[in-house]
């Protein structure tokens, strides 16, 4: 095919009405064509994306380029930094010769620029501590994460209902274990008569699953104050704030990471209003080293993720996975990713060659490239790209010579990270863990009280009164004057089993806030 035909093909395929990000220039017959730029329409960033390629081919830099340009256009993003190599987003890049040369070839000016950052963490790393309460997490999500059976999940659901009814806030995993234990010991009669029987074997299995989750560091995650996802939507001086979640120590804790991922996505789904067709995304999430969430992921986790990915689009939220091989990502999820930025792949083994073939087959057909061959011969900072145009039609497959990040390609020093954390508007809000009166304390107190003599007397008296009205009152009812144990029966069970969205709905009704 002639160069002229190629140029026309790319110019036409990458012409958009609305705003866009210029990723780089097209490559054809070993030449970089500055007159056929690769432009990504902002409008379809909510159709999700994939950045793939072998180690060292430029995936993380591509993520950096997308996040900083989104920021520049006022769009905030959340990047999951699993290797600690994204902090450079917070400082300006430098006019080095190789960068200038790259930009000259592309024909776009290089303007060093820093993006406003907020550091977040799930552990002791610098930044805002992300937490969620058990109540907010909700019974269904929790059951999924704990890989509970249907029977065990329904116990969990009833338990949440009981805690709602009794105004027992479930903040941390200690609360949950306490209530579970209570169901088969002191509170057995009272709870099971109102909510149905619960097998001690099942309850103990749930407790063991919770202990396992705690062993991966989840105890610290379930606490107050919980993170409000609207805080991901900050802008400063017109620029979108990039929230960099430092997850360097998460690699050995895949369950904690997937717990967090699901809770975050469902919270975003719950909180953000329906947006319909937007000209640009509201928020974009980048998950670097995404193979970590897919390795050994349970079937339910993948189903939940797939469902959320499909639904979250209409909230204006895009999710980008960054991983080595597209085959790291389950086919159902892969097919939801509209933008594909494929860096070079290496063909060492037979399996590699098979992956390359499969990857090539998944790209749109092209008259201009031999996709298989190109996949192994792309240079660093080059990629095969296809996106969705504003009508949702795939853009032509194009080999792209990528621009360099405007921000620093290296990491920030500890001191620079400190400076950024100091400037944070949110650090104060989330700095202290709240040791709230939650289910564990309340239950312990109630049990103690119930066992005290005075209370025994009081209960006897109440029993006398109650026998007159033929209605037997429970220990809990007699103690908590303003709450009544409600019969739940079938309706709740129906609510509980109505699937993912139902789960999210239930979760929001059991929010702590409503209880006080």
Name the residues that contact Mg ion, by CB under 5 A.
Answer: 59-60
| Contact stretch for ligand ADP (CB under 6 A) within 51-59, 246-254, 298-306, 435-443 | 51-59
Please, which residue, 56 or 107, has the CB nearer to ligand ADP? 56
Does 153 engage in binding with ligand ADP (CB under 6 A)? no
Does 342 engage in binding with ligand ADP (CB under 6 A)? no
Does 402 engage in binding with ligand ADP (CB under 6 A)? yes
Report the site for ligand ADP in 58-77 (rule: CB under 6 A): 58-61
Find which of Mg ion, ligand ADP, none residue 300 binds, CB within 5 to 8 Å per kind.
none
Please, which residue, 83 or 514, has the CB nearer to Mg ion? 83
CA distance 108 to 37: 10
Find which of Mg ion, ligand ADP, none residue 311 binds, CB within 5 to 8 Å per kind.
none
| Contact stretch for ligand ADP (CB under 6 A) within 49-57, 182-190, 415-423, 491-499 | 49-57
| Contact stretch for ligand ADP (CB under 6 A) within 32-40, 188-196, 220-228, 401-409 | 401-409
Q: Directed axis angle between helix 150-165 and helix 200-215, to 10°? A: 90
Find which of ligand ADP, Mg ion, none residue 402 binds, CB within 5 to 8 Å per kind.
ligand ADP
Q: Report helix, strand or coil for 288.
A: coil
Residue nearest ligand ADP by beta-carbon distance: 58
Please, which residue, 158 or 384, has the CB nearer to ligand ADP? 384
Closest CA to 231 of 507, 504, 426: 426
Q: Which of left, alpha, beta for 345 (phi over 0: left; psi -120 to 50: alpha)?
A: beta
| Contact stretch for ligand ADP (CB under 6 A) within 13-21, 56-64, 175-183, 233-241 | 56-64
**Is 387 in contact with 407 (CB distance < 8 Å)?**
no
Please, which residue, 28 or 286, has the CB nearer to Mg ion? 286
Please, which residue, 60 or 243, has the CB nearer to ligand ADP? 60
Q: Report helix, strand or coil for 80.
A: strand
The binder of ligand ADP chosen from 13, 41, 53, 90 (CB under 6 A): 53
Nearest-approach distance from CB 20 to ligand ADP, in angstroms: 18
Nearest-approach distance from CB 60 to ligand ADP, in angstroms: 3
Cis status of the peptide bond prior to 225, with omega within 30 of 0: yes
Residues in the interface with ligand ADP (CB under 6 A) total: 14
Residue nearest Mg ion by beta-carbon distance: 60
CA angle 512, 514, 516 (to 5 degrees): 85
Nearest-approach distance from CB 403 to ligand ADP, in angstroms: 6
Please, which residue, 312 or 404, has the CB nearer to ligand ADP? 404
Q: How far is CA 136 from CA 123, 130, 145, 193, 307, in A?
A: 20, 13, 14, 27, 19
Q: Which residues contact 307 (CB under 8 A, 6 or more apart)?
A: 500
Rg (CA), the chain: 27
CA distance 195 to 191: 6
CA distance 220 to 298: 23
Find which of Mg ion, ligand ADP, none residue 61 binds, CB within 5 to 8 Å per kind.
ligand ADP
Does 111 engage in binding with ligand ADP (CB under 6 A)? no
CA distance 67 to 61: 10
Does 381 engage in binding with ligand ADP (CB under 6 A)? yes
3-state secondary structure 115-139: CCEEEEECCCCCCEECCECHHHHCH
Does 380 engage in binding with ligand ADP (CB under 6 A)? yes
**Is 503 in contact with 154 (CB distance < 8 Å)?**
no
Q: Report helix, strand or coil for 38.
A: strand
Q: How far is CA 137 from CA 226, 264, 446, 507, in A?
A: 10, 9, 25, 6
The binder of ligand ADP chosen from 207, 347, 409, 447 (CB under 6 A): 409
Nearest-approach distance from CB 37 to ligand ADP, in angstroms: 15
Q: How far is CA 118 from CA 115, 241, 257, in A?
A: 10, 7, 19
Please, which residue, 248 or 434, has the CB nearer to ligand ADP? 248
Nearest-approach distance from CB 60 to Mg ion, in angstroms: 3
Residues that bind ligand ADP (CB under 6 A): 53, 55-61, 102, 380-381, 402, 404, 409
């Amino acid at each position: 095919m002639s160069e002229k035909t190629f140029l026309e093909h790319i110019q036409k395929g990458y012409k958009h009405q609305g705003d866009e990000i210029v990723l780089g220039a097209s490559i054809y017959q070993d030449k970089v064509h500055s007159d056929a730029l690769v432009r990504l329409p902002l409008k379809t960033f909510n159709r999700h994306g994939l950045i793939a390629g072998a180690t060292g081919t430029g995936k993380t830099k591509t993520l950096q380029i997308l996040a900083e340009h989104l920021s520049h256009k006022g769009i905030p993003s959340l990047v999951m930094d699993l290797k600690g190599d994204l902090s450079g987003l917070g400082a300006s890049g430098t006019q080095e010769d190789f960068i200038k040369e790259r930009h000259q070839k592309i024909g776009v000016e290089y303007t060093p620029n820093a993006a406003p950052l907020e550091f977040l963490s799930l552990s002791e790393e610098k930044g805002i501590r992300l937490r969620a309460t058990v109540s907010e997490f909700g019974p269904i999500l929790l059951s999924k994460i704990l890989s509970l059976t249907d029977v065990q999940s329904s116990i969990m659901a009833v338990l949440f209902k009981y805690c709602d009814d009794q105004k027992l806030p479930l903040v941390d995993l200690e609360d949950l274990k306490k209530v579970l234990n209570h169901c088969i010991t002191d509170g057995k009669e009272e709870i099971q008569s109102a909510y149905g029987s619960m097998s001690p074997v099942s309850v103990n299995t749930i407790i063991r699953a919770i202990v396992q989750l705690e062993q991966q560091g989840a105890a610290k995650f379930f606490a107050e104050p919980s993170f409000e996802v609207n805080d991901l939507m900050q802008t400063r001086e017109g620029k979108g704030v990039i929230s960099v979640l430092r997850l360097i120590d998460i690699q050995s804790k895949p369950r904690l990471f997937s717990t967090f991922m699901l809770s975050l996505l469902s919270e975003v789904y719950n909180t953000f209003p329906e947006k319909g067709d937007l000209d640009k995304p509201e928020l974009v999430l980048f998950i670097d080293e995404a193979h970590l969430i897919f390795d050994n992921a349970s079937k339910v986790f993948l189903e939940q993720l797939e469902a959320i990915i499909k639904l979250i689009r209409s909230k204006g939220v895009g999710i980008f996975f960054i991983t080595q091989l597209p085959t790291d990502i389950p086919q159902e999820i892969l097919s939801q990713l509209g933008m594909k930025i494929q860096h070079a792949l290496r063909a060492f083994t037979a399996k590699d060659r098979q992956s390359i073939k499969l990857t090539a087959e998944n790209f749109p057909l092209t008259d201009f490239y031999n996709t298989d061959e190109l996949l192994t011969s792309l240079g660093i900072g080059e990629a095969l790209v296809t996106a969705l145009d504003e009508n949702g039609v795939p853009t032509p497959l194009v080999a792209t010579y990528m621009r360099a990040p405007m921000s620093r390609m290296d990491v920030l020093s500890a001191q620079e990270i400190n400076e950024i954390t100091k400037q944070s508007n949110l650090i104060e809000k989330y700095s202290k863990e709240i040791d709230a009166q939650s289910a564990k304390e309340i239950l312990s107190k109630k049990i103690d009280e119930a066992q005290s003599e005075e209370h025994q007397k009081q209960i006897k008296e109440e029993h006398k009164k109650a026998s007159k009205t033929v209605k037997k009152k429970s220990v809990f009812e007699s103690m908590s004057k303003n709450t009544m144990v409600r019969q739940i029966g079938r309706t709740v069970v129906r609510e509980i089993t109505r699937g993912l969205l139902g789960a999210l709905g239930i979760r929001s009704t059991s929010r702590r806030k409503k209880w006080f």
